[in-house]
Amino acid sequence: MAKLKETPSQTAGPYVHIGLAPAAAGFDIFDTTLGPDPATPDAAGEHITVEGVVWDGNGDPVTDVLIEVWQADAEGRYHTSPSNSFRGWGRVVSDFDSGAWTFDTIKPGAAPGEGAPHIAFWIVARGINLGLNTRAYFDDEAAANAGDPVLTAMPDDRRQTLIATRSERDGKPVYRFDIRLQGPGETVFFDV
Amino acid sequence: MSTDSPGLADLAPRDLTWHPPALTPDYRSSRARAPGHKLLSLPPSGSTLCGPVFGHDLLGPHDHDLIVNYAAPGETAIGPRILVHGRVIDEDARPVPGALVEVWQANAGGRYRHRNDTYLAPIDPNFGGCGRVISDADGRYEFRTIKPAPYPWPNGVNFWRPAHIHISVFGHAFAQRLITQMYFEGDPLIRLCPIVQAIPDPTAVDTLIAPLDMEATLPHDMMAYRFDIVLRGRASTMFENRMEGN
């Protein structure tokens, strides 16, 4: 039998929040909310904040972006079944004025066969015709990053776009991961 | 890789020529948001061949019924009542059970319930504009809603979106993640819309246009539209038995 074709993508548009994050659109409708954080404060592992801004080719923040993330737990294990403290999947939206987004999670461990620890990102917004896939790796995992087959297959300047940088705020680790859609320092996006 | 349940064994590569390219200048918002580099191929691995599972217990009884899910008790949303139904299947026509389908749309006047939408048409106090449903064992899903209206949008002097419903689909793998828009048979705005026409192949556009489904229409109640959703399927059928059960 001939294969069917995948349903073609269309942009999520500027009002994606209504469907996927109604509270951000400005109303409350469902008893259960999906997202935002991949892990609760009870989850085992090092608790971290990941934050950044998605920038467009004009250097302006993308203020209507929606991001989903997918990651392993601290032991490098992916959880497909719901867990009270760790789901591994999150859904966050940017601030409508600044474009800043942030989520709390635990730092993922290295999963067997999956290279250096990382968080997968899927990015949709007005003007994005097909959701963009990228990954955030960690700058304090230099040894693991140096052996990662995905990172080592690309030039240095492009690899740097996938490395989140660690700092401390109020004693808590914060990773900064800015995403540039276009132009100088354009983030590497994947065909997964 | 270690997970607490098996994901898919494999996924066929995405046919990027079937989807709209990143840069489609007639759709102005893509100009500054389209990556300039080609996507870097990253063969599916265990982590992207699985994803979070959303259980039926997640949903409330009216989450799939946009006619009443934001309405005051005894009230309903204003507009033509419609049933939208179909199946979530993969490229080999296998049902995808347990897929999370989330929808959002404008109301019958073309206005979104969103703090950033300032269109002249009024908000319907009984219409939120979002719903969600999980496909059954045969991949079937349905939701009840009102038919949204076209509305003007800032892509130039005089642009109108065809009536549409936004649809987000979560299959079994993070790499299957998809957002699309469903249009309605017979809408003359479809051929004029730069977002629709960003799709290069007219036969691909056709798959986004839901036909009227008279057989599923509920007499004296609501018309029906049929919309099947195809997610990426498996790369190979050589090992049918081993790869079944995804």
> Is B114 within the bounds of a domain?
yes
Which one of B15, B28, B117 has the shortest CB-CB distance to A5?
B15
Judged by DSSP in three states, B197 sits in helix
Is B20 part of a structural domain of the chain?
Answer: no
Residue range of the domain that includes A72: 38-180
Beta carbons of B168 and A32 less than 8 Å apart? no
Domain span at residue B84 reads: 29-33+44-231
Of B188 and B238, the one with more pLDDT: B188
- Please report whether residue B18 resides in a domain: no
Whole-number average pLDDT of chain A: 96
Rounded CA gap, B23 and B12, in Å? 24
Tokens 């030039």 sit on residue: A155
**Residue A192 in domain:** no
- pTM for the whole structure: 0.96
The DSSP annotation for B147-195 comes to PPPPEEESSSSSEEEPSEEEEEEE-SSGGG-EEEEEEETT-TTGGG-TT
CATH number at residue A105: 2.60.130.10
* Residue B214 banded pLDDT, cuts 50, 70, 90: very high
Residue B127 domain flag: yes
- What's the CATH code of the domain at B127? 2.60.130.10
Pick the closest to residue A12 from B103, B38, B135 (CA basis): B103
**pLDDT computed for residue A41 by the predictor:** 95
Res. A155: pLDDT tops 70: yes
Section A7-13 average pLDDT: 98
3-state secondary structure chain A: CCCCCCCCCCCCCCCHHHHHCHHHHCCCCCCCCCCCCCECCCCCCCEEEEEEEEECCCCCECCCCEEEEEECCCCCEECCCCCCCECCEEEEECCCCCCEEEEEEECCCCCCCCCCCEEEEEEECCCCCCCEEEEEEECCCHHHHHCCCCHHHCCHHHHHHHEEEEEEECCEEEEECCEECCCCCCCCCEEC
Instruction: Look at A107 and B244; give whichever has higher pLDDT.
Output: A107
**Domain-located, residue B189:** yes
In a domain, B121, yes or no: yes
pLDDT (average), residues A94-110 = 98
Whether the CB-CB separation of B9 and B49 falls below 8 Å is answered with yes
- What's the pLDDT band for B2 if we cut at 50, 70, 90? low
- Tell me the two tokens of residue A151: 């990172």
Mean pLDDT of chain B: 93
- The reported pLDDT for the residue numbered B237 is 55
Note whether residue A25 is domain-resident. Answer: no
Task: Strands of B26-177 (E only): list them.
Answer: 40-41, 81-90, 100-105, 130-134, 140-146, 151-153, 159-161, 164-170
Active site residue B141: no
Which residues sit opposite B95 in a β-bridge?
A: B89
Domain total of chain B: 1
Q: Residues A5, B204: contact at Cβ < 8 Å?
A: yes
Q: A with B: how many residue pairs have Cβ under 8 Å apart? A: 272
pLDDT at B3: 66
Residue A189 lies in a domain: no
What is the average pLDDT across B5-20? 89
Q: Which of left, alpha, beta for B192 (phi over 0: left; psi -120 to 50: alpha)? A: alpha
Cβ A105 vs Cβ A36: under 8 Å:
no
B217-229 pLDDT tens trace? 999 999 999 999 9
A105 touches A85 (CB < 8 A): no
Q: How confident is the model at residue B191 (pLDDT cuts 50, 70, 90)?
A: very high
A47: pLDDT strictly greater than 50 = yes
CB-nearest partner of A113 from B27, B46, B179: B46
Q: Which residues contact A190 (CB under 8 A, 6 or more apart)?
A: A133, A134, A135, B39, B40, B41, B42
Mean pLDDT of A143-168: 96
pLDDT score, position B46:
86
At residue A108, φ and ψ (nearest 5 deg) are -70, 150
β-pair partners for A68: A91, A122
> What local confidence, expressed as pLDDT, does residue B246 receive?
39
Under the banding of pLDDT at 50, 70 and 90, the label for residue B240 is: very low
Catalytic residue among B27, B70, B141, B151, which?
A: B151
Q: In what order do the strands lie in the sheet with B100-105?
A: B130-134, B100-105, B164-170, B178-184, B209-210
Q: Is A113 on the interface with B (CB under 8 A)?
A: yes
The answer to the question of residue A128 being in a domain is yes
Number of domains in chain A: 1
d(CA B238, CA A133): 29
pLDDT in tens, B109-149: 999 999 999 999 999 999 999 999 999 999 999 999 999 99
Minimum CA–CA partner of B91 in chain A: A4
